């Protein structure tokens, strides 16, 4: 395990020897190829339980995705949204047929999807003659991307510092604690446009909500004629054993953002919405040069064709149950180290009594890649098609790490 001093030295070397902006706290590993759940450097292989932060949902170098990408690359890459794009139309239909939505807008990332949600929510009320309805209620511990709008909607003060006029600038957003339904209605007023949250908070620590919270939020939205918006950038695309995690709660949104797993590693994002929300989005109201291009949509369609299968979803859920059950057993063995096991499907978190970075460093030394979240959570985000034997390998390493830390 590197000391703080050696980590600082590595970061300095990276800063001096590369021209990339040093805005990432990069780990000194350079992968040269991948296969399934494994990543390879020149001299070693690592079991990837990070999946590019929930992006590589079908693992690395997936043959079906390679085929889709190569096939489209040989025909056409990009024409812009000045023209019809058949690949985009096919993907939009597939997503709408498998969700609550009637319409889809395509962009390039989760942050762009959040921007799209905010603009479309406000535009809807504008089109309805409710021009004052611009405020969006968001939740504590939320993460909605790193754009200016995203950090305003998010909760992390480090992400905000130096970018907003005031450290705690609301700028069209108001905040609510998780599951505090009794306070929510008091926050709704004549300027409220929507309620936006992640059905399972990822970056905030794999935080889940009660079904009762979802049901009551939906009722309040209907009562006050405001929109319900979900950010499914991390929790969507089959990660929980349902195509979209909100399906577990029996509540559908009016508008939803997607990205990460949607492209299986290829940059693509989407905003799905009902016809009601879409009515304000006439020509010229929003756009993206690269959004919905032929390459991205071809790969995303191959992803959705695979992960939307009932057999695939049931396997994800079963593997998630197995992994969570085994993690609960490890928790019992180390009650002084572990507070809880959180999440659903293959979006799981180990809540620690201490910060997660040292544990992730030790796991990486043993060739297992994990991702920290919040102040004390380890995220487990393996590829959705991971094999049971690979899950067992990860569990063995996790248990060994806890034993070593305990010594």
Least-confidence region, from 16-20, 54-58, 251-255, 368-372 = 16-20
Q: How many domains does the chain have?
A: 1
Task: Check residue 36 and report its DSSP letter.
Answer: B
Side-chain half-sphere of 300: how many Cα atoms within 13 Å? 32
Closest CA to 86 of 302, 300, 292, 287: 292
Cα pseudo-dihedral 143, 264, 365, 362, rounded to 10: 30
* Mean pLDDT within 274-281: 96
Does residue 5 surpass a pLDDT of 90? Answer: no
Residue pLDDT, tens place only, 146-155? 998 888 888 7
Phi-psi bin for 189: left (phi > 0), alpha (psi -120 to 50), beta? beta
**What is the spatial distance between Cα 115 and Cα 148, in angstroms, rounded to a whole number?**
9
Whether the predicted model's global pTM rises above the 0.85 cut: yes
User: Is the residue at 69 inside a domain?
Assistant: no
The torsion angles phi and psi of 98, rounded to 5 degrees, stand at -110, 20
- The sign of the torsion formed by the CA atoms of 293, 269, 103, 87 equals positive
CA distances from 184 to 131, 176, 216, 280 (A): 22, 7, 10, 27
Q: Is residue 301 included in any domain, yes or no?
A: yes
Alpha carbon distance, N-terminus to C-terminus of the chain: 15
Q: Are 72 and 295 in contact (CB under 8 A)?
A: yes
Q: What is the edge-to-edge ordering of all strands in the sheet holding 33-35? A: 33-35, 38-40, 45-48, 368-369
| Percent of the chain whose pLDDT exceeds 70 | 94
Instruction: Tell me which of 6-10, 47-51, 97-101, 156-160 is least confident.
Output: 6-10
Give the pLDDT of residue 1: 46
Give a yes or no: residue 350 inside a domain: no
- 97 found inside a domain: yes
Q: Is residue 68 predicted with pLDDT exceeding 50?
A: yes
Q: Determine, yes or no, domain membership for 153.
A: yes
**Nearest by Cα to 57 from 321, 364, 268, 349:** 268
Q: Are strands 269-273 and 368-369 parallel, antiparallel or unpaired?
A: unpaired
Q: Indicate whether 63 belongs to any domain.
A: no
**Do 50 and 369 form a contact (C-beta atoms < 8 A)?**
yes
pLDDT of residue 331: 98
pLDDT in tens, 167-215: 556 679 998 887 778 889 999 999 999 999 999 999 999 999 999 999 9
Write the CATH number for 170: 3.40.640.10
pLDDT beyond 80 at 93: yes
DSSP secondary structure of 314-372 = HHHHHHHHHHHHHHHHHHHH-TTTEEEEEEETTEEEEEESS-SHHHHHHHHHTTEE-EE
pLDDT single digits (tens) 113-122: 999 999 999 9
Span 322-347, average pLDDT: 98
Bridge-based pairing of strands 255-258 and 269-273 is: antiparallel
Helix axes 357-365, 388-406, angle to 10 degrees: 120
Whether the Cβ atoms of residue 100 and residue 78 lie closer than 8 Å to each other = no
Q: How much is the average pLDDT of 349-359?
A: 97
Query: Could you list the residue range(s) of the whole structural domain that residue 189 is in?
Result: 75-307
Percent of the chain with pLDDT strictly greater than 90: 84
């Amino acid at each position: 395990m590197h000391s703080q001093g050696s980590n600082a030295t590595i970061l300095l070397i990276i800063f001096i020897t590369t021209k990339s902006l040093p805005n990432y706290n990069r780990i000194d590993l350079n992968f040269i190829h991948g296969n399934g759940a494994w990543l390879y450097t020149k001299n070693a292989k690592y079991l990837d339980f990070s999946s590019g932060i929930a992006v590589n949902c079908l693992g690395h170098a997936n043959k079906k995705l390679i085929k889709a990408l190569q096939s489209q690359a040989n025909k056409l890459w990009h024409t812009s949204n000045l023209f019809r794009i058949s690949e985009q139309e096919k993907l939009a239909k597939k997503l709408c047929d498998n969700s609550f939505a009637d319409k889809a807008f395509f962009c390039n990332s989760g942050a762009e999807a959040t921007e799209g949600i905010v603009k479309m929510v406000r535009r809807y009320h504008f089109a309805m003659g409710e021009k004052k309805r611009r405020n969006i209620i968001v939740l504590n511990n939320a993460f909605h991307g790193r754009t200016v709008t995203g950090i305003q909607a998010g909760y992390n003060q480090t992400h905000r510092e130096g970018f907003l006029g005031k450290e705690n600038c609301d700028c069209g957003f108001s905040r609510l604690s998780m599951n505090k339904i009794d306070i929510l209605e008091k926050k709704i007023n004549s300027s409220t446009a929507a309620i936006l949250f992640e059905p399972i908070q990822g970056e905030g620590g794999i935080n889940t909500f009660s079904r009762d919270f979802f049901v009551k939020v939906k009722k309040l939205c209907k009562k006050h004629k405001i929109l319900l918006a979900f950010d499914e950038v991390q929790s969507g695309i089959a990660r929980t054993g349902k195509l979209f995690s909100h399906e577990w709660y029996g509540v559908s949104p009016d508008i939803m953002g997607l990205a990460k797993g949607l492209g299986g590693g290829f940059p693509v994002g989407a905003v799905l919405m009902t016809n009601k929300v879409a009515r304000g989005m006439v020509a010229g109201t929003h756009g993206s040069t690269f959004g919905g291009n032929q390459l991205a949509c071809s790969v995303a369609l191959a992803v959705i064709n695979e992960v939307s299968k009932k057999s695939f979803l049931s396997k994800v859920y079963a593997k998630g149950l197995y992994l969570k059950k085994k993690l609960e057993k490890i928790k019992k063995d180390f009650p002084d180290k572990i507070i809880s096991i959180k999440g659903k499907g293959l979006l799981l978190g180990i809540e620690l009594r201490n910060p997660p970075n040292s544990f992730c460093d030790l796991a990486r030394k043993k060739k297992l890649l994990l991702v920290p979240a919040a102040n004390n959570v380890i995220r487990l985000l393996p590829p959705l098609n991971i094999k049971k034997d690979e899950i067992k390998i990860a569990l063995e390493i996790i248990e060994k790490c806890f034993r070593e830390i305990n010594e």
